[in-house]
Structure 1
Amino acid sequence: MAAADPIFAALTAPGTPFEIGECGGMRQFVRAPADLSSLIESARRHGAATFIVEGDRRLSYDEAFARRDALAVMLAIAPGERVAICMRNRAEWMIAFLAVIRAGGVAVLVNSRGAPAELRAAVEECTPALVLADSERAALLTEAAYPGRVIDARDFPSEGRFDRDVAPAAPDDPAAILFTSGTTGRVKGAVLSHRNLITGLMSVQLAGLMVLQNAAQQYGVPVETILANRPQYATLLVYPLFHISGLGSAFLSPMLSGGKVVIMRRWDPEEALQLIAAERITALNGVPTMLWDVLNRAKIDAVDISSLNNIGTGGQALPINLLEAVQAAVPNAFLGTGFGLTETSGAVAMALGADFLRKREAAGRVLELAEARVLDAAGAVLPPGAIGEIAVRGPMVMQGYWNRPEETAAVLDADGWFRTGDIGRIDEEGYIFIVDRKKDMVISGGENIYCAEVERALSELPQVAEGAAFGLPDERLGERLVAVVLAAGLSEDQVRDHVATTLARYKAPVRVAFVRAPLPRNAVGKVDKIRLRAMWPDLSGEA
């Protein structure tokens, strides 16, 4: 979004809700609410409109806020206390988050897909005052002998009044802790402040207004006419809510605009098509795997997906053949992509509509409030077009990792520049192109799998002398995780089952190859995964 754009200039001019100004050495939304609770409260105005759809359950905004208020009373926490949320995607998860923020707490978002020991470790990482869990996760925490207070979602109250005075949080107070991992594979809690999350949400809102204004200009009609005639924004919630993409773009952003959030428990193409048709879903944001599934299944079953007018992806490049297939199936849909991380409260670069189609291989265009640059190995800033590590700065960048000062200092400097670990380039127009990942991570079907974590699980098997996990390109999944181990007396299934039960099933390697000699290593003694990838066809027997 270029500041020279007259629509952008008008939307961010002095006196407007999205006024941008300098504050603390960074460009910020100067009229942003001080705390996230105030921003959330503005969604009450949507009243009787449908907010959450989950199976046969339908909650209006009024009903959801009544449940939110009742749970906020039940929590009985002091401002600043941490509350862990450990559930699958469901209405209670969303209500729990809203209640924690309303009560002045800090929401700790736990990956609900872990094994019992993983769940306990993630919860205890941030020493919460209590845990809000669904019955399955509550049972897993009991199995792991978690000693803290747990409230089962079945016991959430349905109505009540929150009349306790809670002092507004300061903009830089923590609002949420989301877990992420680096090359060590050990979970870290990224601490996101109220300012961080509000900046991320308002940036999405501003992008939406830009699209709306451009459409009004293109068709020569007032914005009010478009708003009066368009259907309710309806999104299919397919990302886990404990991911920043689930929390921000699939939950809080639609809520602020009066949208409808339709929950899927797990990804299933047939169910997705049924929901798109029945709920008239307008927005589908997912990884390439999901988009392919919808397009292929819609063609087979002749399902109407014409309600989709907003299709987006992020985290992985959108293959050209997929882009063409989307355009053929829903020619009037508005396409977009973005680049961001948990540590940046979501997107720091976006490209929508014509902006996206101009440079389809880009991961997005740097947003107005974000600064981005590319660094060489020594930390020197490289010129436009040069390849190096991408670093970003802005009011959306996290405060740091919870109780990890050394790991925070390794990626976040005193001037607020965050080293993303992604290798890429930025052109003169501000488009970001991702070339590789410095972080040893695989994105398979939209899930982040950290190789070091899997390798630690492999090392727990006494028969394994050494092992390495890495990703290979996969047309449907984006990448698939495979492993090579030096071991005797083990089968492929035994290795996969061990990882699936030690961690989580989606983290288990799709294939395991066995070697009889030590794994190849590079000049500094690390396992050479470039050579392993080249050796994979011979090791695995795959052509």
Structure 2
Amino acid sequence: MARGDPVFADVTAPGTPFEIGERGGIRYFRRAPDDLALLIESARRHGDATFLVEQDDAGRERRLSYAQMFDWRDRLASRLGIGRGDRVAICMRNRAEWMVAFMAVIRMGGVAVLLNSRGAPAELAAMIEDADPALVLADAERAALIRQSSCAVPVLDALQPEDLGPAGALPEIGGADADDPCAILFTSGTTGRVKGAVLSHRSLMTGLLGTQLTGMMVLHNMARNYGVSVESIMAQVPPQATLLVYPLFHISGLGSAFLAPLLSGAKVVIMRRWDAAEAVRIIADEKITMLTSVPTMLWDMIRHAKQGEMDLSSLRNIGSGGQALPLNLLDEVRALCPHAMIGVGYGMTETAGAIAQAVGADFLNNPAAAGRVLPLIDLRIAGSDGQAAPVGESGEIQVRGAMVMSQYWNRPEENAKAFTEDGWLRTGDVGRLDEDGYLFIVDRMKDMVISGGENIYCAEVERVIGEMPQVVECATFGIPDERLGEQLVAIVVGRDVDERAVTDWVLERLARYKAPARVVVIPDPLPRTHLDKIDKIALRALWPQLAAS
């Protein structure tokens, strides 16, 4: 995917939809509008085609066309009463209302603040207090939790079309500047406190169009290899349909599973909760062509496949992210879906999506890699001296480009730590590059566990456990798990406390997936390094012995 690639040159040539410009050393898509609202509005052309399939709260199937979604969007937009730059929080499970809310906020010039809908009341209150939105749009369950936290911000949970009434005339509010804030997505950090990554209109659109560019390059390479035209391949492509399993408040859910299908005229099918048997049924019934998941879900499907017949013949693309794709899992997926193109990617909230990606042959050429660096991203490996390391050497992955966030909302000290003096974003991950531009993830500088594709920051969980009156000190870390990738476990030094009490304490204050899978309580102080920090290397070595006792 190097910029010297002739296919890349053809696809991004002047006059093409993916024409690339450069300003201040940063590459961007020259033909992209400055305002994401205009890009979203272009999807109205898909009219009566089905956009969304889901089950409502009563368990009834709901199918909505593009025209119906935009009519609903217009009804809600006319009720919001917001202006350019006003922040509006969205807090719901994956559902049509979430998508309509996002589209309405962007149409009215607002900044969409995406709350973790799995959060406990205290977490939701902290995010709302931090972002200080003018309004919260929520489903009934989350609205009750937010009101329970004594939040002073107005909460609107009457979002059904019949509750909103007919759409009024939507005002012309003038276009956004490309660098204006568009959305705030929350991410935890080593401090254990959530912080909001501010994504501009340009960064979100660059992430979206960058993914489309990758797909277009794959298509052109296929045409070259088979000696046929791109048009002839596209004529044989079945109607696109994606299965939405990522939370919409994640950048993966927002970008690749919602906005990208919306722009391309695809169908999105929402799963309320992951279940391998149900996923298989949906794939067969709805002719799902694209599945983007984490390795945990793929393992579940493999195990289900071995129990009986599965019809996965419609799948054409299988993507995996959140953690490395184990090579033994790759073999199983290829055997199960021999005609599907498999891909991986590496990215983060702060970069509006993937910054490295490999699909099809590009991936199979180097399956141990996290992908190849995307063309609009500058990526360097910084050595211990802060200088760019030579090819093949490990160091911190640092990036810059139009996709990178503007800042952490209201966090000047965090921003100073996040960016180098010359403007590169520190990812906190250790990696290396090879001569072909493949990126390999070596380690994480951040103390973070990835369990089932969810990022769990140890500092956040340790802070909550440390608030227990009976706890003297604690440490959390990850242990390998075949299905989840990692499991979070905790070692606690305390008095009159047991595993159940610690787990319940965390469950009351944090999202369920952040609760430790196992807790061991010990009487002695935790081992420490010469810098007087808890020695997690020693604790990991001790874990099998402690867990067995």
Distance 1:158 1:50, change over 3 A: farther
- Alignment check: 8 A CA contact 2:498 2:521 kept: no
Q: How many residues align?
A: 542
- 2:495 corresponds, among 461, 467, 488, to 488
Matched residues in 1 for 2:180 and 2:519: separation?
45
Matched residues in 1 for 2:78 and 2:351: separation?
31
Matched residues in 2 for 1:239 and 1:517: separation?
41
Q: How far apart are 1:159 and its partner, in Å?
A: 4.8
Cα deviations by residue, 1:494-517 (Å, 9 ceiling, x for unpaired): 111111111121111000112211
Residue in structure 2 matched with residue 24 of structure 1 by the alignment: 24
Matched residues in 2 for 1:187 and 1:89: separation?
21
Structure 1 counterpart SS, 2:207: helix
- 2:385 corresponds, among 358, 371, 378, to 378
Moved more, 125-134 or 29-38: 29-38
Residue in structure 2 matched with residue 134 of structure 1 by the alignment: 139
Matched residues in 1 for 2:227 and 2:43: separation?
30
Matched residues in 1 for 2:236 and 2:165: separation?
34
- 1:151 corresponds, among 145, 152, 156, to 156
Q: How far apart are 1:489 and its partner, in Å?
A: 1.5
- 1:195 corresponds, among 197, 202, 219, to 202
Matched, 1:75 2:80: yes
- Structure 2: gaps spanning 5 or more residues: 56-60
Distance 1:86 1:401, change over 3 A: same
- Alignment check: 8 A CA contact 2:472 2:494 kept: yes
Moved more, 477-486 or 210-219: 210-219
AA paired with 1:46?
A: H
> Identity across aligned pairs (percent)?
63
Structure 2 counterpart SS, 1:53: strand
Q: Which runs of 4+ in 1 moved over 3 A?
A: 153-156
Residue in structure 1 matched with residue 41 of structure 2 by the alignment: 41
| TM-score under structure 2 length normalisation | 0.97
- 2:103 corresponds, among 95, 98, 101, to 98
Residue in structure 2 matched with residue 445 of structure 1 by the alignment: 452
- Alignment check: 8 A CA contact 2:431 2:443 kept: yes
Matched residues in 2 for 1:494 and 1:439: separation?
28
AA paired with 1:112?
A: S
- Alignment check: 8 A CA contact 1:66 1:158 kept: no
Matched residues in 1 for 2:382 and 2:218: separation?
32
Residue in structure 1 matched with residue 4 of structure 2 by the alignment: 4
Matched, 1:411 2:390: no
Matched residues in 2 for 1:217 and 1:332: separation?
19
Matched residues in 2 for 1:162 and 1:66: separation?
12
Moved more, 441-450 or 407-416: 407-416
Residue in structure 1 matched with residue 358 of structure 2 by the alignment: 351
RMSD of aligned C-alpha atoms?
Answer: 1.3
Structure 1 counterpart SS, 2:306: helix
Residue in structure 1 matched with residue 124 of structure 2 by the alignment: 119
- Alignment check: 8 A CA contact 2:77 2:170 kept: no
Matched residues in 2 for 1:300 and 1:365: separation?
36
Matched residues in 1 for 2:424 and 2:180: separation?
19
Matched residues in 2 for 1:213 and 1:106: separation?
36
Matched residues in 1 for 2:165 and 2:458: separation?
42
Residue in structure 2 matched with residue 393 of structure 1 by the alignment: 400
Matched residues in 2 for 1:196 and 1:26: separation?
12
AA paired with 1:118?
A: E
Distance 1:140 1:534, change over 3 A: same
Moved more, 154-163 or 497-506: 154-163
Cα deviations by residue, 1:84-105 (Å, 9 ceiling, x for unpaired): 0000110100110011000000
Q: How far apart are 1:211 and its partner, in Å?
A: 1.6
Q: How far apart are 1:324 and its partner, in Å?
A: 0.3
Structure 1 counterpart SS, 2:204: helix
Q: How far apart are 1:202 and its partner, in Å?
A: 0.6
Q: How far apart are 1:295 and its partner, in Å?
A: 2.1
Structure 1 counterpart SS, 2:329: helix
- Alignment check: 8 A CA contact 1:298 1:304 kept: no
Matched, 1:307 2:331: no
Matched residues in 1 for 2:182 and 2:172: separation?
18
Residue in structure 1 matched with residue 92 of structure 2 by the alignment: 87
Matched residues in 1 for 2:243 and 2:64: separation?
15
Structure 2 counterpart SS, 1:389: strand
Matched residues in 2 for 1:94 and 1:226: separation?
31
- Alignment check: 8 A CA contact 1:394 1:416 kept: no
AA paired with 1:40?
A: I
- Alignment check: 8 A CA contact 2:322 2:454 kept: no
Q: How far apart are 1:215 and its partner, in Å?
A: 2.2
Structure 2 counterpart SS, 1:423: strand
Q: How far apart are 1:256 and its partner, in Å?
A: 0.8
Structure 1 counterpart SS, 2:426: strand
Structure 2 counterpart SS, 1:9: helix
| TM-score under structure 1 length normalisation | 0.98
Q: How far apart are 1:275 and its partner, in Å?
A: 0.8
- Structure 1: gaps spanning 5 or more residues: none
Residue in structure 2 matched with residue 455 of structure 1 by the alignment: 462
- Alignment check: 8 A CA contact 1:92 1:153 kept: no
Q: How far apart are 1:162 and its partner, in Å?
A: 4.4
Moved more, 176-185 or 406-415: 406-415
* Structural mapping, 1:230-379, within 5 Å: 230-379=237-386
Cα deviations by residue, 1:469-496 (Å, 9 ceiling, x for unpaired): 1111111000000000001212211111
